[in-house]
Structure 1
Amino acid sequence: MIKKENKHSAGEPPLRQQVAALPFRISESKCVEILLVTSRDTGRFIIPKGWRKKGQKPTDAAAMEAYEEAGAVGKVAKKPVGSYTYWKRGDGNFERLQVLVYPLAVKKHRASWPEKGERRMAWLSAEDAALLVDEPELASLIRNFKAPVSKD
């Protein structure tokens, strides 16, 4: 199922995949706000993302990344809202990766979390968040994001 979303050209190996959370909340003025964090390496604004552990569901991995990187806890959508690609910087090399993005309705923010103090965070309007991220596909995904209607 995940392989179907993997964007690559014929003859090229499939891209390795990461998963990400798109943490959001609805403001008092009923607007969608997106939580961005900074990358530890470059300080760029990104959404929480990372690698799945073996046997881990993508939704569980997305929730774990949101907690570890931002202290955000909430309900993850069962299906990704989309995906984007980016170039990951490594030890003197670059690798193009695909990231599946799962919306996460933030219900609470922990006082303490694993990467607290290592990143900055910002709650922003979807338009402002889209302007701050570097990846055009992610910016488009954020700009066009419609919060799922809660059935709770």
Structure 2
Amino acid sequence: MSKKKLDFRPNEYVVYPAHGVGQVVSIEEQEVAGIKLELFVISFEKDKMTLRVPTNKATEVGMRGLSSPDEITQAMTTLKGKARVKRAMWSRRAQEYEQKINSGDLIAIAEVVRDLHRTDDQREQSYSERQLYEAALERLTREVAAVGGGDELAAQKKVSDVLMSRAAAA
């Protein structure tokens, strides 16, 4: 993996794999154990959390810019697909879903939403299925919103419409 330093500016939105969409608030220098570090200060407003990521580690942890509109379209196409549910035990599947959600990869996150989405006439979701589904849905929606100009309600409707059209076609 290259040690290339990512170049994000204050006010820019980024995706941090384990937390989703955040906004670079500033870039600051701090001295830690006698070593000067340059840090991206990232705010996750919805989670009321601030993260400081060393600028030279951003690539390593998988931090990236927002998806392109093309990638959003690709994620929506993924949502329309047929759910692929492996016949593995739930604990194994849950682990895979968790990894996809935390990968920061929008297409992988869309796959989780697609695979765990339930319509009203389908069997109930277990608590852990629901948790994973909601986490993936939230990540997807926030990034769709950020790419589309920040309107989370419009993004929710967009995602919901795609899921409903898929259910209607089934």
The two structures have a TM-score, normalised by structure 1, of 0.25
Which structure dedicates a bigger proportion of its chain to helix?
A: 2
RCO higher in structure (CA 8 A, sep ≥6):
1
The two structures have a TM-score, normalised by structure 2, of 0.24
